[in-house]
Amino acid sequence: MKNMKNENIVAYYASFVDATELCIVMDLCQRGSLLDVIKYTQSKRDVSYGVFDENTIATILRDVLRGLAYIHENGLVHR
């Protein structure tokens, strides 16, 4: 994972076990995870017609799928 360089992949630097917890060192995502962004958006607007418009959803899905394709092309599987 350290060698993965792609705009749709959060950079991974290291991982280690501290006592009983797995710790992962990676780039900071200033706005949090995609789930964090969805929850924040839900709290700030009327979501009776969905959290995001179709263009935003298409852009997010495109980028997620590009990242997934990149790791698959490099012999890894997301779990």
Within-domain flag for 56: yes
One-letter amino acid identity for 34? L
pLDDT of residue 79: 78
Amino acid at residue number 47: V
* Residue 64 lies inside a defined structural domain of this protein: yes
| Cα 10 from chain centre | 7
Question: Distance between terminal CA atoms of the chain?
Answer: 13
User: Looking at the domain assignment, is residue 3 inside a domain?
Assistant: no
Read off the pLDDT of residues 11-66 as tens digits, 9 standing for 90 and up: 999 999 998 999 999 999 999 999 999 889 888 887 777 788 899 999 999 999 99
**DSSP states of 5-66 as a string?**
--TTS--EEEEEEETTEEEEEE---TT--HHHHHHHHHHHS--TT-SS-HHHHHHHHHHHHH
Residue 5 lies in a domain: no
Residue 37 within a domain: yes
Domain presence at residue 52: yes
Does residue 2 belong to any structural domain of this protein? Answer: no
Domains held by the chain: number: 1
